[in-house]
A = this chain, B = another copy of it.
């Protein structure tokens, strides 16, 4: 009546896997042998073989062992498990597709002789870097509006926007080097440009005095902003903050 039994290697060959895998499935409680000899040997029967073949089938479809265990234990319908898995597979494929697109783009740029690494990386104004802070300070809507706006820009516009900021920061540094005070007219003129630049980034919403002061303080507190400004010259971030505070007092209040 076919009450046959196999040793661990035999059933491994029957099912097309390895004995190590069988021991692993035993260890993690996925598939226990039907009998264990007094010598400790594992023996498997027909029922085990069926279970094992189910396991291997689901595994080939890419399911993880815990998910397979759920199906075998009857805690989850196999169709449901496969449907969930299918969704995961689709997301994985999308992720890889996006990576392929990124790599392809990068490769084209490299072939065009662009030095992506040194320049773009040093740019320091990848706006997505500030996502969490923006959301925390001004809410999720503000971030999404800003993000939409940023994405809507052409590469040229983006570059121009960042270039403006770069020039402003450079001028601040020069003024600092020249010994000008933060509330001098020269420096306040630079602050005016900074204010306008921010207003563009805010899509026309002009910062209040408090908001402007808050921004200036953040340039000093947040190491990412500080690094970006101090890149032009040490102390620039603090200098800009002082100038912004003076501007807020004199012009915005």
- Can you tell how many copies of this chain the complex includes? 2
Indicate if the CB atoms of B2 and A233 lie closer than 8 Å: yes
Structural contact, B4 and A54, CB atoms closer than 8 A: no
Contact yes or no, A122 B227, CB < 8 A: no
> Chain A binding site: helix, strand, loop or mixed by DSSP?
helix
Q: Which of B10, B60, B93 contacts A223 (CB 8 A)?
A: B10
A62 at the interface (CB under 8 A from B): yes
A residues in contact (CB < 8 Å) with B? 1-4, 6, 9-11, 13-14, 16, 46, 49-50, 53-54, 57, 60-62, 78-79, 82-83, 85-86, 89-90, 92-93, 96-97, 99-100, 102-104, 106-107, 110-111, 116-118, 121-122, 126, 129, 222-224, 227, 230-234
B121 contacts A54, C-beta separation under 8 Å: yes
**Which of B93, B103, B129, B234 touches A3 (beta carbons < 8 Å)?**
B234
- A4 → chain B, closest Cβ, in Å? 5
